[in-house]
Structure 1
Amino acid sequence: MLVQLGAIAYIVAPVFGLIGLGYVASLSGHLRERAAEGLSEYVFGLAVPVLIFKTLAEAQLPAEGQPWGYWVAYFTGAFIVFALGMLAAKRLFGRDHTESVIHGFTSGQANTVFVGVPLILQAFGPEGAVPLFLLIAIHLPIMMVVATVLTEGASVGFSLKGLAKLGRMLAFNPILLGIYAGAIAKIVGYAPAGLLKQTLDMLAASAVPCALVSLGLALHRYPIRGDLGPAIVITTLKLVVHPAIVYSLTRLLPMPPVWADVAVVFAAMPSGVNAYLLAQRYKAGVTASASAVSLSTALSLFTVTIWFLILGVG
């Protein structure tokens, strides 16, 4: 047990240490608001897409294809906590439909890029990269479409214009462009080589540390502002209930062991900043979502360690 905890500490401590460094740098004023925005744009717009492209282009995919149990396990858990988050918002806290959707979305939307990528690559290495990036490819589009349909449907009876706007946003999302390019490269058998490979390697290597520092800077911008009751419920659903459901299903459904473990850790990630941005867009649940993002990120240091212990990582 102590040996495993020590091994897990080597995985978790550097990840959350860099997040803490970014938070302290922002809190102290050493790095200002424009640095936070610039670093986030670099990570999201260039470094992580290059990392995804490079990984998928060079990856060895399972000979038997993608295991269907992987997708069923993860998204069953995601939609259950989405529904529970909405139900809690309505029944426990008396929130309207739009705010309830925001609570549900915050409960099911994981921070994949800024926490998921660093932690899962650190824990599982290249073997975990393929299931990780394939899940990232459809995670955000599916969750965003569901949240948008639920929200728009309540307000205007279903807006095709709103869905078209969402479609354009997703079509040109840098993360998804990296996935599209990597998939095409894999299909045609192209892998970067020579000078291009060296350049891409350098960009990809910067993705993880920059993403973690960027998240630390962002947490200072999205502090725990109140509405603690909903934030605690959302955090519990995200860090405990979601991975517990996925863990149970991955033990019942067919998939390679590493894929099963990646699905559980992916589900155990804290609430993503996209939840706060969606709340801002609809002017509903802003305080609860901001508090849940910060609270779940802080507590995930401990809950992820527990899930690593359960999974036998390290």
Structure 2
Amino acid sequence: MLTAILIVLPVFGLVMVGYSAIRFNLLSEKAGIGISEFVFNLGMPALMFRTLVHAEFPSNQPWGYWISYFGGALGVWVISSLISGKIFKQNSTEGVVAGFAAGQSNTMLMGIPMIMQAYGKAAEVPLFMLIAIHLPIIMTLATILAEGRKASVLTLIKRLVTHPIMAGIILGLIIRPFGHYVPEFIWKITDPVATAAGPCALIAMGISLHRYGIEAGWKQPSIISFLKLIMHPLLVYVLASYVFTMPPVWIGVAVLFAACPTGVNAYIFAAQYRQGIGLASTTLTLSTALSIFTIVMWLRVLGV
């Protein structure tokens, strides 16, 4: 228990630094926006780029690993969407927001720092094998469901390619075969930016919690938070442990990836369609607060 708590404390400690800095006027909202922009537009893309150029990936594609994670994500997405329509009588777009909030993990702000704290460099390959396809799959699915037949392939491609984190992934994949020829001064520029991404992401997470707050009551966000923090990682754990075969570290990374709270992209998506904004912001805040306890639980289950 103590080891698990010591893994989680630095992560949530930095989240509280960000929250407290805004709460007690040590930082302005403009500064908070600036930190978030640094994380999404520079820090995380640099981290994606550096890791994809240097990491040693397995020769065979880990289909069982991907199926385990996205099978769990799809399961909670469907359940959350059905609850949205059948119980809360929300429209189809609000149902997509509810599903998005249950199935999309906060990988950039929470997942990477927490998983690296738990497993160290051993987590790099399985972690970035998920990150490389997580955003494209989730965003594409959500957009198609929200727009139906109106969803344009060109629009989908444009949104993905112009996303800063996807740009870092694409550039890393392009440069990867020529990584040995990259001049040293490039890494001396890239490394500090990439290293700053983790702590800045957690501070930005704390700032975002203060900004979004609680707007949609507790009932539905509590259900979605349960699906996100308990059901999603449980489904992934069962699939990764009992249906497919993979190393323990890969199982742990997939489960902790799924155990992360709802990501800020759920709020961004809701704001884009002007549907379910309060639901997304409340779920983001509530799931992040509850994840302090549920992540410790999952670390115990995984034996970290």
Bin for the TM-score computed over the shorter chain? over 0.9
Show the counterpart of 1:164.
154
**Partner SS for 2:26:** coil
Show the counterpart of 1:310.
301
Over the matched positions of the two proteins, sequence identity in percent amounts to 45
Q: Which of 40, 54, 58 is matched with 1:58 structurally?
A: 54
Q: CA deviation at 1:196?
A: 2.6
Superposition RMSD in Å: 1.4
Q: CA deviation at 1:189?
A: 4.3
1:284-303 to 2 correspondence within 5 Å? Answer: 284-303=275-294
Cα distance in 2 between the residues matched to 1:303 and 1:58: 32
Q: Does 1:70 align with 2:60?
A: no
Q: Does 1:230 align with 2:220?
A: yes
1:77-226 to 2 correspondence within 5 Å? Answer: 77-153=72-148, 158-161=149-152, 163-190=153-180, 192=182, 194-226=184-216
Q: CA deviation at 1:192?
A: 4.8
Show the counterpart of 1:257.
248
Q: Give the letter for the 1:224 counterpart.
A: I
For structure 1, the residue ranges without an aligned partner over 5 or more in a row are none
Show the counterpart of 1:39.
35
Q: CA deviation at 1:169?
A: 1.6
Q: Give the letter for the 1:291 counterpart.
A: T
Note the alpha carbon deviations across 1:254-289, whole angstroms, 9 max, x for none: 222211111110000100111111111222111111
Q: Which of 249, 260, 266 is matched with 1:275 structurally?
A: 266
Q: CA deviation at 1:193?
A: 5.5
Task: Verify the 8 A CA contact 1:54 1:182 in the aligned structure 2.
Answer: yes
Cα distance in 1 between the residues matched to 2:78 and 2:98: 9
Q: Give the letter for the 2:208 counterpart.
A: A
Show the counterpart of 2:8.
12
| Pair 1:39–1:276, CA change in 2 (3 A) | same
TM-score w.r.t. length of structure 2 = 0.95
Q: CA deviation at 1:181?
A: 2.1
Note the alpha carbon deviations across 1:174-212, whole angstroms, 9 max, x for none: 111211222233333437553332222211211111111
Show the counterpart of 1:21.
17
Show the counterpart of 1:239.
229
**Partner SS for 2:180:** coil
Task: Verify the 8 A CA contact 2:143 2:151 in the aligned structure 1.
Answer: no
Note the alpha carbon deviations across 1:146-177, whole angstroms, 9 max, x for none: 11111111xxxx1144x432321211211112
Cα distance in 1 between the residues matched to 2:39 and 2:171: 17
Q: Give the letter for the 2:156 counterpart.
A: L
Q: CA deviation at 1:229?
A: 1.0
Q: Does 1:266 align with 2:257?
A: yes
Task: Verify the 8 A CA contact 1:98 1:151 in the aligned structure 2.
Answer: yes
**Partner SS for 2:125:** helix
Task: Verify the 8 A CA contact 1:219 1:294 in the aligned structure 2.
Answer: yes
**Partner SS for 2:260:** coil
Task: Verify the 8 A CA contact 1:68 1:255 in the aligned structure 2.
Answer: no
Q: Give the letter for the 1:171 counterpart.
A: V
Cα distance in 2 between the residues matched to 1:191 and 1:257: 34
